[in-house]
Amino acid sequence: MQGRQKLTQGGMLGGRGARALVLAFLYCFFALTLSTVAEAKTAKVLGARLGVYPDKTRFVIDLDSEVDYTYFLLPDPFRIIIDMPEIDWSAPPGKVTSGGGLISGLRYGLFKPGTFRVVLDVSKPALISKIFTLPASGGKPNRLVIDIAPTSRDTFMAASRESMAAYSARQRNDTSVTEKSEDVAVETGKTTGPRKPLIAIDAGHGGVDPGTIGVGGIYEKDITLAAARELAKVLTDSGRYRALLTRDKDVFLKLRQRTEIARKNHADLFLSLHADSISDPNHRGASVYTLSENASDKEASALASKENKADVIAGIDLSEENSLVQSILIDLAQRETMNLSSNFATDMVRELASDVKLQQRTHRFAGFAVLKAPDIPSALFEMGYLSNPTDAKLLQSPAHREKMAKAILRALDDYFKTHKF
């Protein structure tokens, strides 16, 4: 009994100790959880506005919580780049995207996981004279305030070099300048049986690069992503193809990354999806582009020039990128790839003709950087013009996008009947 009593007392003491330990653990767990949730809270943009003054242009972002920021400057064209932790900017931007004062245009979006980027295009050399945050008070939200003042080109260039040096130092600590390709690309239709052709589907633009902003404020990057996902489904559902999406979310990818994804995964064909805009709102119709040393017409040349500036739009320093892109020479191997690309484009035009409004010269040629993989047949599909109300409405329709996807499926069937993979 005495032994049992000691045991019972010991058990009671042990129970109290265990309960105390459990309570202490739970307290620490919930405190840590609440702290983590607080730290992980994503700031939300409530609105943005521009103020134009005689000596400066003020850009203000209203937020529901404070944010950290860094910035740097890029020349030719003159840009001010502001990076913040990933934030939620789902609020309508209002009129700020069209600019005002020294700011000629504004873009924003996810640059890479954890980094949200705002790009301010400035009409002439200008510096950030002040940048600061204001806490919420008096019914006003948290604010990030950026004052921009004009300067000389020499002063801008010196400030750009200094800010880029600081930016490069930060990059050395974070080598993922943009989303890693393997974290973005998604393959569907994997099988263990006989190998099926792998089609790389590239949704043009993304993240901080919206592409064309069309009728009603629709973004090209959203249309291309929806079309890419639907095309991937049509191809894999056929049972004849595997599909590789270069991106499956709203994130920025460098032009070079897009072709690298296709090459790394040994894609058998690369198709980049886009939707253009033009000054004439009556101009409409789809077209298919393949690579050529010389553009087939002025419009093709202008389009290639615009699409090749995607990295500039996203605030990338092209001092190294340009040399890499321009160093890709059209050698004999690439000439063969260009011929195969042209064959596929011909198949596409033929199959699209019954379901889609096409431009008169449907198959066009230009020097698109995204088509320069030397060993993968590649084409760029301009699905229509977002500046045209009819095309814009159709491209927002899942039924219309499915029609295009099924036409592409038929074109792939035609192509692979006569081409090995």
Q: Write the CA distances from 12 to 3, 4, 9, 249, 375, integer angstroms.
A: 14, 12, 5, 57, 75
Would you state the pLDDT for residue 92? 79
Is 29 a residue whose pLDDT tops 80? no
Q: Which amino acid is at 416?
A: F
Beta bridge partners of 202: 272
Amino acid at 331: D
Cβ atoms of 152 and 125 closer than 8 Å: yes
Query: Given a cut of 80, is residue 170 above it in pLDDT?
Result: no
CA distances from 232 to 226, 245, 364, 403 (A): 10, 7, 24, 13
Coil, strand, or helix at residue 156? helix
d(CA 274, CA 278): 13
The 3-state secondary structure of 327-350, one letter per residue: CCCCCHHHHHHHHHHHHHHHHHHH
Q: In this predicted structure, what is the pLDDT of residue 368? A: 81
Report whether pLDDT(83) > 80: yes
Confidence check: pLDDT of 391 > 90 = yes
User: Does 356 or 217 have the greater pLDDT score?
Assistant: 356
Mean pLDDT score, 383-404: 97
pLDDT at 12 over 50: no
Return d(Cα 191, Cα 148) in angstroms, integer: 55
More confident: 28 or 8: 28
- What topology does CATH give the domain 181-418? Aminopeptidase (3.40.630)
Contacts of 392 (CB under 8 A, 6+ apart): 214, 215, 216, 218, 384, 385, 386
Over residues 100-123, the pLDDT tens digits come to: 999 998 889 888 888 999 999 999
pLDDT at 292 over 90: no
Query: Torsions phi, psi of 174, nearest 5?
Result: -140, 90
Q: Identify the weakest region by mean pLDDT among 22-31, 183-192, 354-363.
A: 22-31
**Statement: residue 25 has pLDDT above 60:** no
Closest CA to 73 of 143, 10, 141, 128: 128
Res. 28: pLDDT tops 60: no
**Winning range, highest mean pLDDT, from 94-108, 177-191, 231-245:** 231-245
- The pLDDT, as a whole number, for residue 336 is 80
Which pLDDT score is estimated for 10?
A: 38
Q: Where are the domains positioned within the chain?
A: 45-173, 181-418
pLDDT confidence of 375, banded at 50, 70, 90? confident
The whole-angstrom separation of Cα 206 and Cα 190 is: 26
Helices (H), 271-317: 298-307, 310-313
DSSP 253: -
pLDDT tens-digit map of 128-159: 999 999 999 999 999 999 999 999 999 999 99
CA 81 to chain centre: 16
11: pLDDT strictly greater than 50: no
Q: Which residues pair with 206 in a beta bridge?
A: 209
Mean pLDDT of the chain: 83
Lowest mean pLDDT among 54-58, 295-299, 304-308, 363-367: 295-299
- Separation of alpha carbons 234 and 218, rounded Å: 24
CA 104 to chain CA centroid, Å, is: 21
Q: Residue 37 has what pLDDT?
A: 41
Lookup: tokens for 31: 């405190």
Note the pLDDT of residue 296: 61
Identify whether the C-beta of residue 184 lies closer than 8 Å to the C-beta of residue 113.
no
The average pLDDT across 233-252 equals 95
CA dist 32 and 51 (Å) reads 42
Fold of 45-173: Immunoglobulin-like (2.60.40)
Distance CA 33, CA 340 (A): 56
194-199 average pLDDT score: 92
Which of 44-48, 54-58, 200-204, 314-318 has the weakest average pLDDT? 314-318
What is the model's pLDDT at position 35?
44
- Tell me: pLDDT of 15 over 80: no
- The pLDDT score that the predictor gives to residue 403 is 97
Does the structure show a pLDDT above 90 at 14? no
Task: Report the pLDDT value the prediction gives residue 295, as an integer from 0 to 100.
Answer: 63
Q: For the chain, how many residues are written?
A: 421
- pTM, to two decimals: 0.74
The CA distance from 140 to 243, in Å, is 49
Common-topology check for domains 45-173 and 181-418: no
CA dihedral 307, 312, 316, 319 (to 10 degrees): 100
Coil, strand or helix at 61 = strand
